[in-house]
Structure 1
Amino acid sequence: MVAGIPVRGILFDKDGTLFDFGATWNGWAKGILTELGQDHPDRTAAMAEALHFDLAAGAFRPTSPVIAGTNAEVAALLLPSLPDWQGARLEGFLSERAARAALVPAAPLVPLLEGLRGQGLRLGVMTNDTEFSARAQLSGAGVLELFDFIAGHDSGHGAKPAPDPLLAFARAMSLPPETVVMVGDSTHDLEAGRAAGMRTLGVLTGMAGPADLAPLADAVLDDIGHLPGWLAA
């Protein structure tokens, strides 16, 4: 129970929340940009700049639109440098490559999620990635079956920061929004949670810092491994 209202459901963002953003996506992004650039350094550099990706450091900048963006938004940023590609083809390419990314969990996921389920909590994932990628990645991490609800930006509920996909989880689980906690690493996640009437938790395994998340969060945790302690406090 938190603030006098029992918590009955937890909705997680995926990248930067369940999985450490930098450890998972920095190396992946550099490989994708190199592959798409096809040995044209100027093209690779232009795409990296569009994504706010520092090629020398091999890392996204905190300002990157990729952090909370959809595949369609990322593809739109890349297309000006890829005249031979179509938007739908590029989106599919990004989705397929993302599904094969080497994921780095932000905390040991199986014991954490099994413990939360053991408390009777309903668990969900809402990501601005595709549902296909989310399911593939969660399956690869061995936790797909531990979630009651999985949605991407293409699942028919919309994308964050709109509250609609969060409210879809609450409806699917027959839970009042105020009994759900939205856990995320970006302001998009927390803005969506606040708009949905849910409590919000920020985590520091993405690119945002405490100063970015604190104004929109009931609490900011180092990572999701601290969630059981927060629930019990």
Structure 2
Amino acid sequence: MAASSVQEHLPPSLDATSHPPPLFDGTTRLYISYSCPFAQRTWITRNYKGLQEKIKLVPINLQNRPAWYKEKVYPENKVPSLEHNGKVIGESLDLIKYIDSNFEGPSLAPNDPAKKEFGQELIAYTDTFNKTVFTSFKGDPVKEAGPAFDHLEKALHKFDDGPFFLGQFSGVDIAYIPFVERFQVFLSDAWKYDITAGRPKLAKWIEEVNKIDAYKPTKTDPKELVEFYKARFSGQQ
């Protein structure tokens, strides 16, 4: 299992009044927001590989972000981004791969060619999955988001050597869990829709991911999630 049961003191988020860290001083920094699902992907990756000492977390307040972040760190002005070896790279799916390939720790990529290929297909589907479910919040999620969750249920039947998408835990699980976590909470609260009903593999997958130490500290408070999505999608039900 991963070297990830390190109890970590989480730093406070930096906002417009905060000074920048000593940028490009050789420290590897992962810029995240505690509430952002894209950033959560990279945070889980770092934890799973046991890199809490090697990659410093720098949380940014996205509602009141510091000007220096855009000017000096990442012109895209979004999270996540990784400051490593004098350069900054972004995009969460790229960063899962980058952290996995460039740092020590348990691998998140399978060696088996069939798993590799299926993993790529599932990664390619993440944007469609997220878009389908988010769009359904404006209509009828049970009807419109159902097929997207069915797609995951079907995918979880492909390999039977473990409860995860590629059997064993991988970058594919990391790509999906931040979004599934949010969708499950919000759909249950706002629509009384249980995404695991009639989807035993999905239910088991969520249960097993929840046991992973690397994931636990990255989870968002469900109440906060519901409030955030209600504010964002209010009047659209």
Normalised by the length of structure 2, the TM-score is: 0.33
Higher-RCO chain (CA-CA 8 Å, sequence separation at least 6): 1
Q: Normalization by structure 1: what TM-score?
A: 0.33
Greater fraction strand: 1
